[in-house]
Amino acid sequence: MRRKRSGAEVFRITGARMGLDEDVRGRQRRYVISMAIRTLSVIATVLLWNVERHLAVVTLVAGALLPYVAVVIANAGRESTPKLPSSFLPPPARPALEAGNLRKTSDQS
């Protein structure tokens, strides 16, 4: 069951990570995009080989390196826990009493 996404902006108010399903879905999406770029790179290599050999070599190298990069990105691990502002508030500073203003109550009588 998929939830409908509304146009309203959602604010994260907790330091909790995103759900595991959402994390895996994001990694799979990045991997598929990388492999699509690799496929386009290999097709460009085939099409450019007899036309522009230097560019074809560049696309061939990109097509050879992209699987490694895609796997590293896909297996990069979960996101780190977002840093929230500290809820610790320092105690308010109390003004010190001046020494000359204090008198004993017995002196006033």
SS3 assignment for the chain:
CCCCCCCCCCCCCCCCCCCHHHHHHHHHHHHHHHHHHHHHHHHHHHHHCCCCHHHHHHHHHHHHHHHHHHHHHHCCCCCCCCCCCCCCCCCCCCCCCCHHHCCCCCCCC
- For range 69-94, the mean pLDDT: 69
Q: What is the pLDDT of residues 18-71, one digit of tens each?
A: 777 888 888 888 888 988 999 999 999 999 999 999 999 999 999 999 888 888
Whole-number percent of the chain with pLDDT over 70: 60
pLDDT at residue 70, rounded to an integer? 83
Specify the pLDDT at position 1.
Answer: 47
- pLDDT, mean over the chain: 76
pLDDT > 50? residue 93: yes
Task: Give Dmax (Cα) for the chain.
Answer: 113
Amino acid letter, residue 21: D
pLDDT computed for residue 26 by the predictor: 85
More confident residue, 15 or 92: 92
pLDDT(73) > 70? yes
Mean pLDDT throughout 74-92?
64
- Domain ranges across the chain: 19-76
